[in-house]
Amino acid sequence: MPAPTEVSREGSLGAPTRHPLDWQNPEFFNKQSLNQELERVFDICHGCRRCVNLCNAFPTLFDFVDESSTMEVDGVSKEDYVKVVDQCFLCDLCFMTKCPYVPPHEWNVDFPHLMLRAKAVKFKEGKTSLRDRLLTSTDQVGKLASIPVVVNVVNASNKARLTRGILDKTLGVHPDAILPEYHSDTMRKRLKRHKGATSVTQPTAGTRGKVVLFTTCYGNYNEPQLGEDLVKVFELNGIEVTLAELEQCCGMPKLEVGDLDAVAKAKEVNIPVLDKLATQGWDIVAPVPSCVLMFKQELPMMFPDDPQVARVCNSIFDPFEYLMLRHKEGKLNTDFKRPLGKIAYHAPCHLRVQNIGMKTRDMLELVPDTQVELIERCSGHDGTYAVKREFHEASMKICRPVVNRVEKAAAEYFSSDCPMAGHQIENGLNRARQPVHPLTLLRMAYGL
């Protein structure tokens, strides 16, 4: 039998190859060529359908095809393409785990980056809603909502049925979606008051033993205790922690609505500051996986020739990735003071696609008398997708298998590295229980 040809071969045993995002080429925003590429890729997806269980983008596409006059992609109106695009929240799991036609395959399918291109064209055409622009302006909203006195009004309003009804009617924010609390005593304020523990820096082959904490807009304004937990754990392990002198949102929220110019502006603030620290011998960590992914993957894809972006990319770590790298060389404190029992642990999409393995699970399993049940399913949150009126029910449907696993586990704790995913699961549990972040669990295990 002759060897299979490239044309007949499905998929590859090799690792996927990601091409840079050609967003500074005017052709990137050409609506006609975009629609041609959408039709080409949609036709490949229609013939495969392996991704049908990942998110709502694929069922939406396949329903359009199956209900069309031709039952093929050519029977789907180009006007309906955007309805598929709006359902994609750029988790990257289709590219990383399912699609057999990603490059180096000749069909060159990169569904998430094609959806990003379509979102960018929509934004450029001025068709992105005021709500979506507002929800993704995390720095501006955080600064306003965290003002003393204002913060109490915002938090109370986010829980009151009357004001949630008004938000639903005016902005399209679903009344049943959990909205994050805001804090006037932000993470950056708390950590600037913190007197760091003095220790001799102990580098390893993969770490330099001292880190810059990129607090993230969500960590800074919404869950500042995560920074305190991280600092306590890292300092116990002899790792010095500092803050960058200046920080903006990483740009992921703006990326998800296609506002690439805003992403570039955020990059111009963050990258020089972080690169300077990286050059001075600091590693970088962030408590939210999406923010780490932004510096590890998305900015290098947007700015492939920028040496500062490349240095920051090579210097940033997930916190548990960092701790486990040090454990590999005997630099981790394993003197745990209390067991954690059973933990239902959700691995978020933006952590899974970093291809670092299940470091959070591995770390928690070092704690004696601790059992971790791993859940590798999407929570359906995606930062803003789950709070939008038109997508909330779909997001909860996506989250249902995760909630079922948490309920079945009957664990002492349920947890996710992504705080927003944790609250999405909480919502699926009818708010009967609250998530406990892995950093908080680790601090508890150390007795700190």
What is the bridge-based pairing of β-strands 370-375 and 341-346? parallel
DSSP code at position 196: P
Q: Specify the range with the lowest mean pLDDT, choosing from 73-77, 192-196, 245-249, 347-351.
A: 192-196
Asked if 54 contacts 62 with a C-beta cutoff of 8 angstroms, the reply is no
Report yes or no on whether pTM surpasses 0.95.
Answer: no
Asked if 301 contacts 267 with a C-beta cutoff of 8 angstroms, the reply is no
* Band of pLDDT at residue 52, cut at 50, 70 and 90: confident
Q: In this structure, are 57 and 119 located in the same domain?
A: yes
Per-residue pLDDT tens over the stretch 253-306 = 999 999 999 999 999 999 999 999 999 999 999 999 999 999 999 999 999 999
Residue where one domain finishes, among candidates 104, 139, 171:
171
Assigned domain for 313 exists: yes
Tell me the residue range of the domain where 231 lies: 187-325
Q: In this structure, are 224 and 316 located in the same domain?
A: yes
Q: In this structure, are 48 and 140 located in the same domain?
A: no
State the DSSP string of 264-279.
HHHHHHHHHHHHHHHH
Cα–Cα distance measured from residue 387 to residue 381, given in angstroms and rounded to the nearest whole number = 8
Residue where one domain finishes, among candidates 325, 357, 377:
325
Assigned domain for 278 exists: yes
Assigned domain for 12 exists: no
Assigned domain for 176 exists: no
Mean pLDDT of the region 217-228: 95
Q: Which of 211, 206, 296, 204 lies closest to 250, judged by CA?
A: 296
Cα distances from 312 to residues 22, 240, 292, 411, in angstroms, run 21, 18, 10, 38
The secondary structure of the chain in percent helix, strand, coil, rounded to multiples of 5, reads 50, 5, 40
**How many structural domains compose the chain?**
4
Assigned domain for 4 exists: no
Residue where one domain finishes, among candidates 275, 298, 325:
325
11: left (phi over 0), alpha (psi -120 to 50) or beta: left
* Band of pLDDT at residue 98, cut at 50, 70 and 90: confident
Give the per-residue pLDDT at 13. Answer: 63
Q: In this structure, are 194 and 301 located in the same domain?
A: yes
Residue 32: pLDDT above 50?
yes
Q: In this structure, are 210 and 284 located in the same domain?
A: yes
Q: In this structure, are 116 and 139 located in the same domain?
A: no
Q: In this structure, are 209 and 83 located in the same domain?
A: no
Assigned domain for 180 exists: no
Question: Please, what is the end-to-end C-alpha distance for the chain in angstroms?
Answer: 65
Assigned domain for 200 exists: yes
Q: What is the dihedral of CA 404, 408, 414, 417, to 10 degrees?
A: -50
* Band of pLDDT at residue 383, cut at 50, 70 and 90: confident
Q: In this structure, are 196 and 318 located in the same domain?
A: yes
Q: In this structure, are 235 and 261 located in the same domain?
A: yes
Give the per-residue pLDDT at 96. Answer: 85
Q: What is the dihedral of CA 257, 261, 262, 263, to 10 degrees?
A: 80
Compute the mean pLDDT over every residue in the chain, rounded to the nearest whole number: 92
Mean pLDDT of the region 201-221: 93
Q: In this structure, are 226 and 280 located in the same domain?
A: yes
Q: In this structure, are 207 and 299 located in the same domain?
A: yes
Q: Which of 321, 310, 245 lies closest to 286, judged by CA?
A: 321
Q: In this structure, are 235 and 146 located in the same domain?
A: no
CATH number at residue 346: 3.40.50
Assigned domain for 350 exists: yes
